[in-house]
Amino acid sequence: MKSSTRDEAEGKLHKVKGKIKEIAGKVSMNPDLEAEGKEESGAGKVQEKIGEIKKVVGK
């Protein structure tokens, strides 16, 4: 698997996991879990964009 494709796939996975944690934190009224979910979702977005950039550049 190409590095760019792997980055995009892992980024999407982190975005989904982050969103689940964020929702679980809201439901359980756990602000720490909610914040952790937002952070992981943001990191996933960044990783996904890195994969897209690698595709454009050709790595």
- Compute the half-sphere exposure of residue 5: CA atoms within 13 Å on the CB side of its CA: 2
The domain tally of the chain equals 1
Structure tokens at 9: 């796939």
Higher pLDDT residue, 59 or 4?
4
Cβ atoms of residues 4 and 54 within 8 Å = yes
Q: Which residues contact 26 (CB under 8 A, 6 or more apart)?
A: 34
Query: What is the percent of the chain with per-residue pLDDT over 90, rounded to a whole number?
Result: 81
Tokens at residue 29, please?
A: 């009224």
Query: What whole-number percentage of the chain has pLDDT above 70?
Result: 98
How many CB atoms lie under 10 A from the CB of residue 5?
Answer: 12
Domain residue limits at 21: 3-57
Q: pLDDT tens digits for 46-58?
A: 999 999 999 898 8
Please determine, for residue 37, whether its predicted confidence score (pLDDT) is greater than 90: yes
pTM of this structure:
0.83
